[in-house]
Chain A
Amino acid sequence: MTFKSALDIDCGIRYMYDTLCIMSPCGRKMLLESKMMTTKDDIDNYYGRLRDVYDKDCSKIANKLMCIKDIHNTLCRLSDAIVLDDIELYEVKYLAIITSEVDVLLQQLQLTAIELPSLQAVVDILDPDHTHIPSFYIYDSYSPQLQEVRKQLRAIQIEGKDLSDEMRQEVAQLMQRNADLELQIRERLTLQLQPYASKLQQALDNLSLLDILIAKATQMHELQLTFPHITQDNYTLYNNMFNPAVKAHLAHQGRDFMPVSIGIEQEPVTIIGANMGGKSVVIKSLALNQLLAQYGFGVAADSCHINPVEEVALCIGDEQSITKGVSSFAGEIMAIDAVLSKVRSGKKILALIDEPARTTNPIEGTALVEGLLSVIEEVKGRWILTTHYNIKNDNVKRYKVKGLHDGIMDYTLVPTHSGDVPHEAIAIAENLGIDTQWIEYTKSKLNN
């Protein structure tokens, strides 16, 4: 799965992308096209590079990276030896100069996360006057003939603006000669540069990667993210996990996000708890952090152990589609079914299901969830569910949101053995200040 498609998962990952300050268009493109890493080695290797960048002040490099243009097409033309025009030669020269400037900064910082190829030869070809500035044209010094033609052109121009017809013709001829000579030189330059095409591409790719790494490291400092510990066993642990998107939203309202800790030794897991107890946020944060770790971002927790999977499936019950003629119940059940068949085919999936079968009657709903948990026992896989139903299965590890205490919600997750769900809906409704008569009638119904 590419990062671009992961952005559609509604868990707060888009917020992470939006707050990521990537400087160059090619860095952004590279990130969006990047594939999710699925092995411990790949992820560890990536975090090794990120850690190198994380410890250093890379602001000078970031400023340089802001100027990088995506010249992939130009480099393809160069490797095919298609004669480059002035603008393309400028692009190549510019990339070569930026690469060597960034390389100097990398050495100053002793930053080894990225290695840049030496492009001094390219700079030498395109900067015959050794001006060390990234502008470009076919310089006079490329050929004595060109020098001569331009000398004549300059002489005529200096003589004045009132040119006779003969002079005008001469200027036209000289301009034509100039254009012919320039073309010859561009052909020569293209051939000289062609052997460096792959090095230039490598430089562009590595600069893009460096851009991404610096952006991620900056984001880690800004949002107080950490490096995850990648495990190979099935043990997942989050110490004070949070969701940056939700946290920012709450901060905007002047409220604090209460981090949640959870340790999962075995799946499946069910999370029960009162309404507004943050169960959905836990499910979304688990999805978010798994994705963050596998796309090489800092993770939103004080510390964590994460076991990589091949796919993160988040079902939050919004699969309803009027246009497809599917009810919310059907949409949800079909989405869970799709995950189930992938797990059956042996794919390693982290399945996070928020209140399955919530939109149907509680009797069949409970049975459907219990049935699902029984299937999971056979097909295995990593499943985490939230529910309001009293589930009797005994193959399940259960967590419970602590819930209301003196009218204040405690979002802490505590292990529990009982499947009994808390009866706090009315207390919460009262807290929200809804119609008192409604509450009274509801209470009297319950007491009967």
Chain B
Amino acid sequence: MPFINEILKYDSLSIVGLEKNVGKTECLNYILNRLPLQHIKVAVTSIGIDGENKDQVTATKKPEIYLRQGIYFSTAESHYRERRLISELIEITNERSSLGRIVTAQVAIGGKAIISGPSSGLSLRRWVAGIKKMGIDLTIIDGAISRLSSASPAISKAMILSTGAALSSNIATLVQKTKFVAEMIALPRLDDASRDTLCDIESGVWGVDTEGNIVDFKITSALAINSVKSDITQGMKIIYTVGALTDRLLNIVADSKRIKEITLVVKDFTKIFVSETAYRIFCSRGGKIEVLQKSKLIAVCVNPTAPNGYVLDSDTLCRKLREAIKLPVYDIVKNNYDI
């Protein structure tokens, strides 16, 4: 499979499922089984799971991950005690989750374990920084759409999206929803002299006027945009929100007469919380969104089977998705890439 080689070009990868039961774990297992561990050091963790071993929604057991000899992994100490492999404990980190301290170990003889790592974006970032010091070449994070921060380019440079019938049993809807996320990930990186200055700003909503001056709108976040009485688009070429980009801010720019001259900028795609409808209207009027840091979407993995038993046609799904997002799409289970 070609995307393993693609992964090796990056030092950090996150795998994000757009819904539960879209085959994210199969995807992770698939990758872990194929990485050339004789050449590179790999560490894996997940953005913490919330304390229970069973998935409370579908009553299925939380998936275990097969870890080969040589892989480094970080998990909560209670899950470490339950591991079904032989491993050497390397470090007890200072990170904690609801299941105890996060420990890092290296697999001596392969087997299965539950991976539940740091539970916030910030602690995940510290984990990445800490583990890099051990000479790790590639960090892999098992992410979750509800905690998209794990896919932020500040934490992982490349990502794989996992989608499937669990998200929607209608191929058209499934393709549309997945395409929207892929589109957000593919937003272009801002190319402007003000980029470095904007990167250093820590909060609020800011503008860059046509002469290149940075303007503070004195708004704490896009959520407080209603408190602004004046037209913030006046004289601006860039409007930058450090935090979340909401429909409200998007609509303000969309309604402006100067929409075509303005670029709306966010830190990275994980900060975008706009509905597809609002985004489409914004684009149709000539609006554009750019990011300060860009992620690389390597591939999309699909699981055509929904938890309720509904099965989509794998080939059609893959083909339609591929056409829509112009990226490699794989059904790992169907093609029996043994897991």
Using a CB–CB distance below 8 Å, which chain A residues touch chain B?
69, 85-87, 90-91, 94, 135-137, 150, 153-154, 157, 161-162, 175, 178
Contact = CB atoms under 8 A, between A and B. Distances in A.
B200 interface: no
Contact of A87 (B81, B106, B110): B81
Given A135-B89, A136-B88, A162-B338, A87 B80 contact: yes
B89 A136 contact: yes
Given A90-B89, A153-B109, A161-B338, 8 more contacts: A86-B81, A87-B81, A87-B89, A94-B92, A135-B88, A135-B106, A137-B105, A157-B109
B89 A175 contact: no
Contacts of B109: 150, 153-154, 157
Contacts of A154: 69, 109
Find the residue from B80, B89, B91 having the highest chain A CB count within 10 A.
B89
A136 B80 CA distance: 13
B87 interface: yes
Contacts of B90: 135
Interface in B72-111: 77, 80-81, 84, 86-92, 103, 105-106, 108-111
Nearest to A93: B89
Contacts of B87: 137
A349 B269 CA distance: 63
23 contacts: A85-B81, A86-B80, A86-B89, A87-B77, A87-B80, A87-B81, A87-B92, A90-B92, A91-B92, A94-B92, A135-B90, A135-B91, A135-B106, A137-B88, A137-B89, A153-B86, A154-B109, A157-B109, A157-B110, A161-B33, A162-B338, A175-B111, A178-B86
- 5 A-B pairs with the lowest CB-CB distances in the bound complex, closest first: A137-B88, A90-B89, A135-B90, A135-B88, A153-B109
A150 B33 contact: no
B209 to A, nearest CB: 34
B237 to A, nearest CB: 38
Contacts of A91: 92
A175 B86 CA distance: 9
A54 B283 CA distance: 66
Interface of B: 33, 69, 77, 80-81, 84, 86-92, 103, 105-106, 108-111, 338
B106 to A, nearest CB: 8
Contacts of B86: 137, 150, 153, 178
Contact of B69 (A94, A157, A178): A157
Nearest to B90: A135
Contacts of A161: 33, 338
Contacts of A85: 81
A178 B111 CA distance: 13
A178 B103 CA distance: 22
A88 B172 CA distance: 53
A308 B258 CA distance: 74
A91 B92 CA distance: 8
A161 B69 CA distance: 13
Contact of A69 (B80, B89, B92, B106): B92
A120 to B, nearest CB: 21
B88 to A, nearest CB: 4
B101 to A, nearest CB: 8
A187 to B, nearest CB: 16
Contacts of A150: 86, 109
A252 B81 CA distance: 51
